[in-house]
Structure 1
Amino acid sequence: MSGKIFIERLEFRGRVGITPEERSRPQPLAVDVELDCQLDAAGRSDRLENTVDYATIARRLVEVGTEKDTHLLEAMAERLFEMLFREFPVERVKLWLRKLHPPLVYVTGSVGVSLERSRLAHRLQQIDPPPAPFLVQQLHRLPKGTVLDVAAGGGRHSLFLAAQGYHVDAIDRDEPALARLASEARERHLSTITTRTLDLERPAPHEPNLGKETYDGIVVFFYLYRSLVPHLMDALKPGGVLIYETFTIDNYFHHKHPRRWEFCLAPNELLRLASTLQVLHYDEGAHEGGHGSVYTAQLVAQKPARPSPL
């Protein structure tokens, strides 16, 4: 069962303030935390090791809150989030951090910040540029396992998926970009990303070999090479899921991007290209992009499972 653990009014003294004078001596601070976590194992076993130990959390909150000077409460709260998600199996954190005796003439109570963040949102903040919003929205449809990131480029989607526990095969013809991705994965201790330099647009009879029923999922974002689509279908395992988003011709008319209209989808073209799959979600029109609204087609589709033998 999922549940919440509360720690109310944990008090300690820390150095927080914009001016050197305010940071020159510790001042009384307080933090309340609310943690979403799984409590069913502890309920069955009645053993401390099967739950989140609030005494350990309280100690670590104090240690992080007192280890260094901070200009803003927001910065201290960010360090608390980082510690909680890194060290404890919690899915969501809500905290209220405040100065109990702020140096303000008319304030007789406390001043502070109240913030809430999920583990997923915290991981997204670590990726720059962030993954496409459509991938984040549809992640729950992607089966756990191995995912092919097509035309991965700098790897924003590969990094995101690896952080969610997926094994990722990132392919692109841009070897320097893949080298940067591999380096970034090592820095983040993400050992489940494999990079492979591959020209996806080689004509017959030298088409890229993506394997046969190899991947639990395939993601394609802002890349279109129509001749590749049948190979994507072959590479999906039965029951595997394709998540695809790229520009429609409306984006070319409105924004003159991409630079050639051939790189854009015609109306309903993505549905036709993926006609052998079962559509789980489809939308075509204006969507939020990294720099404002863009016109895209968004598809989530599943390869039919192999029929069970009689």
Structure 2
Amino acid sequence: MAYELAGRVVVLTGSTGGLGRALASALHARGARLALLDLDQEAVAAQVRSLGAGADVWGGTVDVRSWAKVEQAIDAAAGHFGGIDVVIANAGIAIASPMEKLAPEAFDRVIDVNLNGVWRTFKAGLPHVGQRQGYLLAISSMAAFVHSPLQAHYTASKAGVWAMCDSVRLEVRRLGVSVGTVHPTFFATAMMDEVLADPAGVKIWGGNRGGLWKMVPLEQVVAGVIDGIRHRRELIVVPRRNGFPARAPGFFRRFVERVGFRDDEIAQAIALAGDGRR
């Protein structure tokens, strides 16, 4: 049975970016109630107005690099709507630069936004999503499986998101919460415009005109995400022809999870675990 979106409360970070805007519009068209979060307060306010500014669309500001701000924003969204069904961790950044040239602070920023930001978003959303046995979804990339040069920081962040979500899924399945990751290839957004304006990016991926690195339409990515939410999928690959390289690394994962990690033992381990402070 499909997990219908009409009436569901969906939190979306990175809402004013290319994919964020398209997803917000598609979710709104299907009757979802939206909590839109991004860095730029004015851009979020304009986005809320563009979607009708009714009771079913709410906007807030958030910097996913700050745990306090993420928690505050998601709690405010839950307070506004009375709960949350779906959290989509969509905020992300990309840079093309080799290790020998990339500034250490740039590496840290990519990891902090793309990986740590997803963790913070999920952690803040889980208490609310858990009450409704909902769905946590992270926007990863095919870069989680195909590791390009000049992108060690980006591929590490996206592979980390995929691995993290596999681990979190085991922790929260006893709560009735599902966890998924989205892995699109290149698609047209303002972020992609920056790649195409960068001589290094054009050289590595051939301008994304054809072959392995050919872009797909934004609408195709949005359709894949919507379908993934409606079926609470663990792995969403766009286009579907890329499914084999995406699924191959996890070929034995289900067997290992079934044999090695029982739900009762996971629950006991969670009860025994500390909070990571030393």
Classify the TM-score, shorter chain.
0.3 to 0.5
TM-score (norm 1): 0.41
Point out the structure with the larger helix share.
Answer: 2
Structure with the bigger RCO (C-alpha within 8 Å, sep 6+) is: 2
TM-score (norm 2): 0.44
